[in-house]
Structure 1
Amino acid sequence: MTLETPHHKSRERSDDGLHRAVSEPPGGPRAWLVWGTAAAVYLLAMFHRNGMSAAALHAQERFDLGPALLSTLPVVQLAIYVLLQIPSGLLADRLGPRRSLVISLGVMAAGTILFALAPDARTAVAGRVLIGAGDSLVFLNVIRVAALWFPRRQYSLVSALTGLAGGLGQLVSAAPLSALLNGFGWEVSFLGAGAVNLLVGALVLLLVQDRPDGRRAPSHAFPSMRESLAEALSHRGPLVGMAAHAVIMVPFTVLGVLWGYPLLEEGYGLSARATGLLLTGAMVLPMALVPFLGRIPGSHPRARKPMALGLAWTVTLLWSGVVLWPGGLPPLPVAAAVILVSAFASVLAPSISFDYARDGLPEQRTGAASGLVNMSGFTSVMLGVVGAGILLDMGGDEASFQVAFVPMTLLCLTASTAMTVLLRRGRR
């Protein structure tokens, strides 16, 4: 039985400052249930995306890999994720959330099982490729659920809560996954994760609908990729969203994807347990504040710009301090504070980046813009992870970790500058 829910009229902000009347859904308990189920898929995807950090040293021993080769495992996964963002955005516009999320869970399950049973690095890479392909469909469809089920004024809040769900996935991929790997071993841990994919897929089939009125997404022809990209890039909002995502969520994601555990264990000499607790603790305070801060961009549009600029430049300047610290890595309390601020920025990134991505675009054509925003962020992550791996291979001491984060910091500086220029132009 489907629930019929009325739509209400509101006024939507565009990047040229104009407002137009649109018909939008009212939200409500049913919307939160549907979104919550979709968000569980994102939590699981983030677990898979960031699990290599806790598993890095295990994988290094299992497959006999050095730092540069080790970085290929998450980087190949991220490369597939990035390359598929635009096709995934167009597919999201066509298939709708329910079918897209089921497909993504099936593909991630296959990749996780292959990764669990991989006898060598080549097979492990194939598993990460499948995980990246499945992951590429997830986030765009979760925020599509937010756009289809909630009014625009709640969109930034729901996007922030989606980031919170991703943060929970990162939490599970840190200390809990490390404990599972140490207690039960490689195969049992990752086979269990593959089984969870299938269970969540059953929940999606049971609870998720594409729209409040129960209609499925229309199977219309794919829009031209060139036209979709040109439309998104012709508006300032998606460009600002791309720049924001390329800095605000990047540093903590680079740590979560691979280099957090090696930095703290090898760079600072912490135990695996202490490292897991530090990375887990870094997420707790930001996650607690998300329900309050995440609603600001939607409820107070004028606050969106200072939030974006403040987070971007804070993260950039803090990591500049890390890589320029005299004599090597800064003291552990300083590094812990930088990690905490980076986690705070990462959790809030979706509420800002994807709110900008919607400016000036009709709801049914936001997939390509969201794909561009996600692509920009994870391209920066991928380059940061690879750059760190190469520089660590060239070094061999504690100071190597300080040098390893130079590429990531330069990317953040570039993106922050670009966003500042775009927002200044918008005032003229």
Structure 2
Amino acid sequence: MKERARSFRRYQWGGWAVLAAAFFVVFVHRYHIAAVADNLAATPPKGLGLSGTALGNLASIYFYFYALMQIPSGILCDSIGARRTAFAGMAVAAIGAALTAFSGSLALISVSRALVGIGTAVIYVGVLRFLTLWFPTGRFATMTGCTSITGNFGAMTAATPLAMLVLYTGWRGSFIVLSVISLVVAVLVYLVVRDYPQDLGFPAVAEQAGQNGLALPELWSALKMIFRNRLTWLCFLIYLGASSATFSFNGLWGISYLMQVYQLPKGVASSYTLMVSLGIALGSLFWGWLSDQCKRKKPIVVGGVLVQGILWTLLITPAADGALLPRWLLPILLFLIGLSAIVFVLTFAAVKERNDVRYSGTAISVVNTGGFLGGALMNAAVGRMLDAGWQGKVVDGVRVFSQGAYHRAFLLFPVAIAMALICAIMLPGERACECGRGADLAKGHFGK
């Protein structure tokens, strides 16, 4: 019996570890463009000579296709399982990264980023589907937090370490390295991950989770049920508004902003954006743990979104004399922004609890669409506002934007967060319960 329990844990934790490694690579793909933005903006042959609008649109392509693939990702995970879905996704991402390395035009690199967005889109939903089937419900938020912290270590890798790799191998070489890593992880997913405990003779952890996939009539029924759930759309909008600022800042504009406005070297600027990722990593673990302990999500989400909005406003609002924040304060502020921003991770646990477990992957994917749609729209909007405020300054073939242009564009951040705050306040009330008593307490969650 003990040996069987140990065997179960090996497959349980081994499968999660490999999928979490895939999610780590997803974050490197996502933020890779930020590390090479100045290279892409440089005039040929060093770069592609992209304007702010073109850079914003290029970064948005990843998010658009990532968002577009979310509901299909959930359907795939619920139908053919997380294993085959994640394997195919990582393989497509590897192809996209390799194609990026050989791109010589905006059109080709756009196709490459679309492939990366399509491939990486399936991973997070696959991880959450795996957690639903292999881990008890009471540990879902904590394990979601552990997954997020692993992914955000990938975001940290995409900051200073990736910037150093770009300096060593060139921007094209860095994409080749990432392509090889993605292919290795794809193989590991196929070899290690199993969709259901029952596949290996273990009892089901989620008793209601069907093992036969979704037939088409059942799929349409599931989608209608999920779409009619008011909580689904509130969580969708919370994720969209609360994540778009960090996706845009860390995913594209942060390093350039710190280099051009605060006159920081690229290595230092990337280390500052790394602080956002560090805050997100620790916050994802903390908020998941706190939610599982207290069994209450609404007050945590409202508080986290509110704090994030205040912090962004502080960052982008200059003093009356136009003075910038002291440099020593920047990494602290950026860390706290990341710490508060990741509170949106609780929306996944909430929507999972309020929908049939058989359709958990599809329900989560609907909410996940919101965040990446927000990132795509924010990147494009910020790029257009920057180009509108550009005063014609060019250094080493790269457009340089003023402090005022950046701050006017970044005003979109608190606007999006305000929308998320309104939606968080509108969340249904929760059944009051005592904090810290563990699994013996009644499970309080949204809408019950």
TM-score by length of 2: 0.84
* Bigger Cα displacement from structure 2, 269-278 vs 340-349: 340-349
* Bigger Cα displacement from structure 2, 178-187 vs 330-339: 330-339
Q: How many residue pairs align between the two structures? A: 405
* Bigger Cα displacement from structure 2, 322-331 vs 274-283: 322-331
Structure 1 377/311 Cα, relative in aligned 2: closer, same or farther at 3 Å?
same
Q: Which residue identity does 2:310 align to in structure 1? A: L
The answer on 1:299 being equivalent to 2:284 is: no
Counterparts in 2 of 1:171-210, with a 5 A limit?
171-210=156-195
- What is the alpha-carbon distance in structure 1 between the residues aligned to residue 282 and residue 30 of structure 2? 22
Q: Does structure 1 conserve the Cα–Cα contact (< 8 Å) formed by 2:132 and 2:360?
A: no
Q: Does structure 2 conserve the Cα–Cα contact (< 8 Å) formed by 1:27 and 1:149?
A: no
The answer on 1:48 being equivalent to 2:29 is: yes
Q: Does structure 2 conserve the Cα–Cα contact (< 8 Å) formed by 1:160 and 1:348?
A: no
The answer on 1:345 being equivalent to 2:340 is: yes
Q: Which residue identity does 1:260 align to in structure 2? A: G
Pairwise CA distance, 1:370: 0.8
1:261 is aligned to 255
Q: Which residue identity does 1:245 align to in structure 2? A: Y
2:16 is aligned to 35
Q: Does structure 2 conserve the Cα–Cα contact (< 8 Å) formed by 1:148 and 1:211?
A: yes
Q: Does structure 2 conserve the Cα–Cα contact (< 8 Å) formed by 1:246 and 1:380?
A: yes
Pairwise CA distance, 1:329: 7.1
- What is the alpha-carbon distance in structure 2 between the residues aligned to residue 292 and residue 393 of structure 1? 39
Identity %: 23
1:370 is aligned to 364
Counterparts in 2 of 1:7-406, with a 5 A limit?
28-61=9-42, 62-214=47-199, 218-222=212-216, 226-284=220-278, 287-288=281-282, 290-302=284-296, 304-327=297-320, 328=322, 330-331=324-325, 332-350=327-345, 352-396=346-390, 397-406=402-411
1:21 is aligned to none
- What is the alpha-carbon distance in structure 2 between the residues aligned to residue 295 and residue 235 of structure 1? 26
Q: Which residue identity does 1:111 align to in structure 2? A: G
- What is the alpha-carbon distance in structure 2 between the residues aligned to residue 187 and residue 427 of structure 1? 49
Please, which runs of 5 or more residues in structure 1 have no aligned partner? Answer: 7-25
- What is the alpha-carbon distance in structure 2 between the residues aligned to residue 290 and residue 66 of structure 1? 34
Pairwise CA distance, 1:47: 0.6
- What is the alpha-carbon distance in structure 2 between the residues aligned to residue 357 and residue 367 of structure 1? 10
Q: Does structure 1 conserve the Cα–Cα contact (< 8 Å) formed by 2:60 and 2:379?
A: yes
Q: Which residue identity does 2:379 align to in structure 1? A: V
Pairwise CA distance, 1:67: 0.5
Q: Which residue identity does 2:151 align to in structure 1? A: G
Q: Does structure 2 conserve the Cα–Cα contact (< 8 Å) formed by 1:251 and 1:342?
A: no
* Bigger Cα displacement from structure 2, 147-156 vs 234-243: 234-243
Structure 1 407/283 Cα, relative in aligned 2: closer, same or farther at 3 Å?
closer
Structure 1 405/289 Cα, relative in aligned 2: closer, same or farther at 3 Å?
closer
Q: Does structure 1 conserve the Cα–Cα contact (< 8 Å) formed by 2:70 and 2:369?
A: yes
Structure 1 292/67 Cα, relative in aligned 2: closer, same or farther at 3 Å?
closer
Q: Which residue identity does 1:168 align to in structure 2? A: F
Q: Which residue identity does 2:35 align to in structure 1? A: A
Q: Is the partner of 1:209 in helix, strand or coil?
A: coil
- What is the alpha-carbon distance in structure 2 between the residues aligned to residue 205 and residue 127 of structure 1? 24
Q: Does structure 1 conserve the Cα–Cα contact (< 8 Å) formed by 2:272 and 2:330?
A: no
Q: Is the partner of 1:214 in helix, strand or coil?
A: helix
Structure 1 127/266 Cα, relative in aligned 2: closer, same or farther at 3 Å?
same
Q: Does structure 2 conserve the Cα–Cα contact (< 8 Å) formed by 1:153 and 1:298?
A: yes
Q: Which residue identity does 2:420 align to in structure 1? A: A
Pairwise CA distance, 1:289: 5.9
- What is the alpha-carbon distance in structure 1 between the residues aligned to residue 211 and residue 107 of structure 2? 38
2:442 is aligned to none
- What is the alpha-carbon distance in structure 1 between the residues aligned to residue 49 and residue 282 of structure 2? 40
What RMSD in Å do the two structures reach over aligned CA positions?
2.5
TM-score by length of 1: 0.88
Q: Does structure 1 conserve the Cα–Cα contact (< 8 Å) formed by 2:89 and 2:119?
A: yes
Structure 1 361/278 Cα, relative in aligned 2: closer, same or farther at 3 Å?
same
* Bigger Cα displacement from structure 2, 147-156 vs 330-339: 330-339
Write out per-residue CA displacement over residues 120-175 of structure 1, whole angstroms, 9 at most, x where no aligned residue: 11111110010011011111001111111100010000101111011011011111
Write out per-residue CA displacement over residues 95-130 of structure 1, whole angstroms, 9 at most, x where no aligned residue: 111000011011101100000111111111110010
Structure 1 88/285 Cα, relative in aligned 2: closer, same or farther at 3 Å?
closer
- What is the alpha-carbon distance in structure 1 between the residues aligned to residue 354 and residue 278 of structure 2? 35
- What is the alpha-carbon distance in structure 2 between the residues aligned to residue 286 and residue 256 of structure 1? 11
